[in-house]
Structure 1
Amino acid sequence: MAAVSFPSLSSSSAASSFLHRNGAATTATKLVLRHHKPLYLLTRIPIRSMSTPVTTLTQDDLKKLAAEKAVDSVKSGMVLGLGTGSTAAFVVSRIGELLSSGKLSNIVGIPTSKRTAEQAASLGIPLSGLDDHPRLNLAIDGADEVDPALNLVKGRGGALLREKMVEAASEKFIVVVDETKLVEGLGGSGLAMPVEVVQFCWKYNLGRLQDMFKESGCEAKLRLAADEKPYVTDNVNFIIDLYFKTPIKDAEAAGREISALEGVVEHGLFLGMASEVIIAGKSGVSVKSK
């Protein structure tokens, strides 16, 4: 497999100015990691402090750098999938800045949630939907878990159905995360793996999901909102969160079994969808690609 070169952060004017403000410099090295098959490429850009300790770079600072690196892939005239969540919000904000400055033009955004649509509209990003743009050039979004094969768990923010629809329609899907989201196996964080279900007889499906994974000690819970009432998605559905004590042994099989249940709308296993993952951590920003 031929090596793929990724631009270092020092080539990004936004990243360079950020590092200059924080008294930091970048060095880029290219590493090739083998995770069974296929071969994955990792470009790591560690951040070395010159005059200011690296600890002054907060997690939000690093997420912003990673988001801006992802936006380097955005070109004028693109139809873009706009993700949901704290990291994706930095992406949307950066795209708005570039449109406002004239560095980008003729962008059309396809939002994955109502809150993303509101943010994008406030920044002057033209919006549309899959009905008018069934094929997207690029989608950028966050993730809740990323395994070594770039499979994902998404949807803890409640937007999994629209996220999967938009990202599946994209020619390229870039994921932006912080290093705490990296796991050896999906479900390995012990946090929620969401399943969106219709409201009708949701307890029935909660029980079926509980039984499906009982041998792995999985616990199924209805997601509640802040008022202790059931959380309702943008599509007026409920979410059942699955909590695994150990990583899911076969995510492909698990996804098929969950999808086969009547009343299940979508699940949060995003398998084989990510083209590239940009990872922000205290040691810098890295890019991992298939």
Structure 2
Amino acid sequence: MLSKQTLYKKQAGEYAATLIEDNMVVGLGTGSTVRFFIEMLAKRINTEGLNIVGVTTSSKTSALAKSLGIKLSSVDEVPYIDITIDGADEVDLNFNGIKGGGAALLFEKIVALNAHKNIWIIDESKYHDVIGQFPLPVEVVPYGSYQLLKRFEEADLNPSFRRTATGSRLTTDVDNYIIDLSLEQIDHPKSLAYFLEQIIGVVEHGLFLNIVDEVIIGGEQLKIITK
């Protein structure tokens, strides 16, 4: 039996699949909620004969989409992306988001910025007044990463390397590291984003600001909020 949270994820994901139209190029995000979207999208492709091209944000998503028979292209092979459906680890009332819990933030941001429309699908536990409860991921190059960790410590950002179950440093699809910043509350996300973007060795951060157009929130009742 699925938990309430899983049911809410399923509700949001499957609803998002109803928004996809024939001949669309669709950005396919990463994460447990997006999995429900992709599975339902594949069902629609098979039953309705939709002509859909997917652009994925991670190797995990690529593997899932291929296994379900969804045609894929890279972001450099398509002229545009009509719509991207992705999850988020946290969203606030001002449409600021934290993403990167699945270590795919770099590709997720690239795909999002090349899409005409971005929709996030979440369960209600991820919608807060202010972001920051979820640790902020920062993707960094391995060379000099310990020096970056020390710099983040000096800035009181409570950093830690993300690690695998075996204790080794987790690597992204392009072999970078993730440093998670445990901040509890981010009152000035734009200022923090600017600070991180100025640091050499930082590849990308998980603050997604001024990107999303619509958020679908699974819960006791499905909610759709539009920017």
TM-score range, shorter chain: over 0.9
Query: Which residue of the other structure, out of 116, 141, 150, is the alignment partner of 1:171?
Result: 116
One-letter code aligned to 1:169: N
The yes-or-no answer on 1:267 pairing with 2:205 is: yes
Query: Which residue of the other structure, out of 71, 92, 95, is the alignment partner of 2:41?
Result: 95
Quote how far apart the aligned CAs of 1:244 are.
0.6
Answer whether contact 1:83 1:116 (CA < 8 A) is retained. Answer: yes
Query: Which residue of the other structure, out of 125, 134, 144, is the alignment partner of 1:180?
Result: 125
Query: Relative to structure 1, is the Cα distance of residues 104 and 258 closer, same or farther in structure 2, using a 3 angstrom cutoff?
Result: farther
Quote how far apart the aligned CAs of 1:209 are.
2.0
Answer whether contact 1:70 1:176 (CA < 8 A) is retained. Answer: yes
The yes-or-no answer on 1:251 pairing with 2:196 is: no
Query: Relative to structure 1, is the Cα distance of residues 73 and 228 closer, same or farther in structure 2, using a 3 angstrom cutoff?
Result: same
Deviations 1:108-165 (A, max 9, x none): 0001000100000001000011111152000001100100011100001110000010
Quote how far apart the aligned CAs of 1:61 are.
2.3
Answer whether contact 2:8 2:124 (CA < 8 A) is retained. Answer: no
The structure number with the bigger radius of gyration is 1
One-letter code aligned to 1:223: R
Query: Which residue of the other structure, out of 81, 101, 105, is the alignment partner of 1:136?
Result: 81
SS of 1:69's partner is: helix
User: TM-score normalised to the size of structure 2?
Assistant: 0.96
Number of equivalenced pairs: 227
One-letter code aligned to 2:152: L
Q: Which residue of 1 aligns with 2:139?
A: 196
Quote how far apart the aligned CAs of 1:57 are.
7.5
Query: Which residue of the other structure, out of 69, 92, 96, is the alignment partner of 2:15?
Result: 69
Deviations 1:34-82 (A, max 9, x none): xxxxxxxxxxxxxxxxxxxxxx973222221211211121001000100
Answer whether contact 2:138 2:181 (CA < 8 A) is retained. Answer: yes
How do 1:44-63 and structure 2 match up within 5 A?
58-63=4-9
Query: Which residue of the other structure, out of 154, 161, 181, is the alignment partner of 1:222?
Result: 161
Query: Which residue of the other structure, out of 115, 119, 125, is the alignment partner of 2:60?
Result: 115
SS of 1:256's partner is: helix
Gaps of 5+ in 2: none
Quote how far apart the aligned CAs of 1:206 are.
1.0
Deviations 1:223-243 (A, max 9, x none): 111110000000100000000
Which whole-Å CA distance do the structure 2 matches of 1:97 and 1:114 have between them? Answer: 21
Which whole-Å CA distance do the structure 2 matches of 1:79 and 1:211 have between them? Answer: 44
Which whole-Å CA distance do the structure 1 matches of 2:171 and 2:99 have between them? Answer: 17
Which whole-Å CA distance do the structure 1 matches of 2:145 and 2:88 have between them? Answer: 26
Q: Which residue of 2 aligns with 1:82?
A: 28
User: TM-score normalised to the size of structure 1?
Assistant: 0.76
Query: Relative to structure 1, is the Cα distance of residues 193 and 134 closer, same or farther in structure 2, using a 3 angstrom cutoff?
Result: farther
Please, what is the CA RMSD of the aligned residues? 1.5
Identity of matched residues, %: 39
SS of 2:119's partner is: strand
SS of 1:284's partner is: coil
Which whole-Å CA distance do the structure 2 matches of 1:83 and 1:185 have between them? Answer: 23
Query: Relative to structure 1, is the Cα distance of residues 205 and 57 closer, same or farther in structure 2, using a 3 angstrom cutoff?
Result: closer
Q: Which residue of 1 aligns with 2:221?
A: 284
Gaps of 5+ in 1: 1-55
Answer whether contact 1:75 1:104 (CA < 8 A) is retained. Answer: no
Q: Which residue of 2 aligns with 1:237?
A: 176
